[in-house]
Each structure stands twice: as structure tokens, then as C-alpha cells.
Amino acid sequence: MVSIRELHDQLVKKERSAVEITQAAIDRIQAIEPQLHSFLCVTAEQAMAQAEAVDAQIAAGEAVGLLAGIPIGIKDNLCTQGIPTTCASKILENFVPPYESTVTQRLKMAGSVMVGKTNLDEFAMGGSTENSAFGRTANPWDLDCVPGGSSGGSAAAVAADECTVALGSDTGGSIRQPASFCGVVGLKPTYGLVSRYGLVAFASSLDQIGPFGRSVEDVAILLEAIAGHDPKDSTSLKVEVPRYTDYLKPIKKSSRKFRIGIIKETFGEGLDSQVGTAVMAAVDQFKKLGAEVQEISCPQFRYGVPTYYIIAPSEASANLARYDGVKYGFRTPQADNLMDMYTRTRAEGFGPEVKRRIMIGTYALSAGYYDAYYLKAQKVRTLIKQDFERAFAQVDVLVCPTAPSTAFKAGDKNNDPLSMYLLDLMTIPVNLAGLPGLSLPCGFDDQGLPIGLQIIGNLLREDLVLQAAYSYEQATEWHQHRPKL
């Protein structure tokens, strides 16, 4: 496993060129993509050009940043100028954005090398990457299993070493849950810390972009590069971005006791016992590291999923109204009149899960139901936030499982959307409250599938989340296991 820092050292010591590093990533992608399908599009030519530019800088004696020459995968719901951005949907199959998202622009400026656009559930709606209109992604640990979702392509690509790091988006768990299923680190930042400009909107009050990596340090480095105010996103926070890498130190080095809360409600019914055991072992590890551990109750946690499945589809129904066959991408080839064109375009262009969400959302927002559903959900959202506020008055971070189970077999939940929705039980409340949450490997089940530990922080306390994660990672060896592929 090669980290950003190791690659950077090799580059500046001229042991390896950016072109060689990029070529190795492209070769790896070409060798395993037929089995994995993490990418919807591989941008080998552009990647080589970017790598050459980095090599030229190094040859000219210029200083290059940590991300220069680092191969990176980008979820295909982030707009990349001149490169198709499909959201894994037929309706955007031929969409080539005329502009670049803020995050990818920042990564370009940092010299990183995008190797391709990664697969996802259509419009990021799903938890298995099976809802992609262009075929599913496999889990590198067991090709018959799903990689999680919706950012399953990014998680699988990093786990399988097709790229060093990747970006995903997380509306209800779509970074953390696939990170957990694929045995990598994934972070959903505080709402507003990372600009959403150029991220194709799913549910605007919940969506956040965040990093995937094979180590906490790689994730911290990537976060530092993409975070920070952006005038192009009105919800972007005007805050100073800390040097997250400065917080990668053992928790026992803190001046006072590091306080960790275990969310009691996440250990109830429906939790796979092997996941529960691994997470409790992680808690013991934290105690050994010197943390003070206590149980915390978040009684409203259990309303997260029903609240989310009103709010997210409502916002999605509004956001997806723009795909009407006129402004973007696909238009039905045959229609009798304008209404017929709209209807057929949307019927043919969207997959079943997206249609389901649009219908739920339109219903919840309709006159007469708005108060009963949408307004009620917003009130419950406030109650969930208050649970967290009470918790963070007592502890520095909260821990719980990332997902109730490990990766499941592809096809297993296809006819049961509800059981798929329940996968995000433990991640959704974090989005509803706008908090940062990270998943990192904390063990394996008896099938050899990775288990994820979730660490949740208070608003803008990515520093504490990363510190806890780093301390745990340094004390354990889970992150060193790699899938045999």
C-alpha cells in the first residue's frame, strides 16, 4: 500500500516520475476493471498530460505540493469540464459539462491526476451501486458482493488500488457506508465545509462531498485541499480551514482526557453480531489509548430513516425537475407534443429508484400533505440535532458502527427497497444534523469482509474526528489488509 506521502517522496527524490505513477494506475485499472467496474470512464490521455505537467515542474526545480502527481478517482456526479458526467443515469448519458466543479478545480490546481470518473447509484440514490444505469460495481473483497453505495465506485477503486484517493458525495451515508463495505477510510465533512458547486444536486440540504483513502492521513490531506469557502456555493461556510494533518497525533498526547461516547441506540436489534463485537473491541482499544468512554443516548436516532425518506426525496423531486429533455442530455426520440415529450423523456431516462424518489417527494410536498409530512420531518430533524447537541456537551466524539452489516451479495436486496433504506440507519442522522462523520476499518467478519467504525464529531470538529481515527489506526493493523485481486 502506497500512501500520498510515500508517492510524494518518490517524486521529489526523482525515484519515480508522475508519468510512471499514473501509468501504473492506468495499467492496474485496465487489468482489473473487467471484474470490478469501478469506473464509468477512464481519462488516461488527460491523466498522462497532467502527469507530464507535474514532471516538468519537478524537472524545472519547482516545489510541488503533496497532491501533485497523485492518481485520483472522481465520482461521476461531479462536473468535469469537457469530460462526460453521467450520474450513472441514462438521462445524462451524453452530458459533457461546460464547467468544472470547485472541488475538482482545486484538485487540478494542486496537481493531482484524475484517472477517471467512478460509478455510483443513479443520481447517488442507493446503497449498493446496483442502481447504476451502466452496470454494477463489484466489491474487491468478494466480487459477488456489492461495494456499498452510492459512492461504490470510488470506494472500490481505492480499495483495489486503482487510484490512491477518490472523491465521493454523501447525502445519507454514501461515503461512509461504501468505505465500510470496502475496508477504506471515508469522511463526510460538516455541511458547508466543502463547496457543492458543480456537484449534481440530489438533496441540497444534506449533500456533502468528501474524501476516500486507504489511511486517515490520506483523507486528511485530501480534505485540506478541497475544504474552504467558495463564493459560488451560497451554503459554503466562511471559515478558516485548519491544517488537518497537524491533528494526526495520538489522543493521549492531548492536554486533557479525550472523551468518547458510544451511541447506545445503535447496538439494538438488526445489528449483525460480528459488527457489534468488532465495534466494541474498537471501543476497548480507545480505552487502552487513554480515552474516557461513556454511553450516550440519542433517543431520536431511530427517526432518522423515516425523516430522511421525506426530506431527501422532497428535495430530489425539486432538483430533478430540470431533467425534462430540453435543458440537458437525453430526449426521447419520439413524442407527439410537449407534454408527451417531457413524460416519455423522464419515463425512459430515469431508472426505477429515481422515479420512486421523485414520486415520494412530489407526494410529500403536495398541497394538503406538506404539513403532515415535510414540515413534520423538518421538526423531527431539529429533535435529532438536539440529541447530538446534548451529546457533544459531554463528549468529544461519538462512535458507533457505520452500517448494521457487512457487504451483502449483489441482487439480495433488489426487490426490497426498505431493507436497502435501513442500511443507512447509523449514517443518516449525521447528515440531518450537518455533522462530520468518518468510517474506518475496524475488523473483518468470518467471510473476510471488512467492518467499519463510524466516528462522529460536532460541527467543524473534523480535527477531533481525524485525531481519534488516526490514533485508532496507528494502534491497529486493519488498514494494512488489502483485497487479493
Residues annotated as part of the active site: 75, 150, 174
The bridge status of strand 165-170 relative to strand 71-75 is parallel
Closest contact distance (angstroms) between CB of 166 and ligand GLN is 15
Query: Is 67 in contact with 4 (CB distance < 8 Å)?
Result: yes
Residue listed under C-alpha cell 499514473: 22
Residue 308 CB, shortest distance to ligand GLN, in Å, is 7
DSSP category for residue 68: T
Pick the closer one to ligand GLN by CB: 153 or 172: 172
Q: Which is nearer to ligand GLN, 43 or 137 (CB)?
A: 137
Closer to ligand GLN by Cβ: residue 126 or 452: 126
Strands 71-75 and 113-118: parallel
Nearer to ligand GLN, 123 or 323 (CB): 123
- What's the Cα-to-Cα distance from 258 to each of 175, 396, 398, rounded to whole Å? 26, 7, 11
Q: What is the closest distance, in whole angstroms, from the C-beta atom of residue 128 to ligand GLN in the complex?
A: 8
CB of 100 to ligand GLN, least distance (A): 21
The alpha carbon dihedral of 162, 215, 167, 152 has a sign of: positive
What stretch of H or E contains 399?
strand 397-401
Nearer to ligand GLN, 127 or 349 (CB): 127
Q: Least Å distance between CB 276 and ligand GLN?
A: 21
User: How many other C-beta atoms can be found within 10 angstroms of the C-beta atom of residue 24?
Assistant: 14
Helices 18-36 and 4-12 cross at an angle (nearest 10°) of 140
Nearest residue (beta carbon) to ligand GLN = 174
How many CB atoms lie under 10 A from the CB of residue 438?
Answer: 32
Output the CA–CA distances (angstroms, integers) from residue 394 to 6, 126, 385, 463, in the order listed.
38, 34, 15, 17
Would you report the helix, strand and coil content of the chain in percent, each value rounded to 5?
Answer: 45, 15, 40
Least distance from C-beta 275 to ligand GLN, angstroms?
18
Taking the complex as a whole, the smallest distance from the CB of residue 148 to ligand GLN amounts, in Å, to 9
Q: 4 or 360: whose CB is closer to ligand GLN?
A: 360
Q: Which parts of 110-259 fold into alpha helices (H)?
A: 152-159, 176-182, 216-226
Residue 44, amino acid: A
| Alpha-helical runs (H) found in 60-206 | 102-109, 152-159, 176-182
Q: Which is nearer to ligand GLN, 146 or 312 (CB)?
A: 312
Closer CB to ligand GLN, 124 or 220, in the complex: 124
Q: Is 136 helix (H, G, I), strand (E, B) or coil?
A: coil
Shortest Cβ 133–ligand GLN spacing (Å): 15
Neighbouring residues of 466: CB distance < 8 A, sequence distance ≥ 6? 187, 216, 219, 220, 244, 247, 248, 438
Helix, coil or strand: residue 407: coil
Interacting residues with ligand GLN (CB under 6 A):
124-127, 150, 170-174, 202, 312, 424
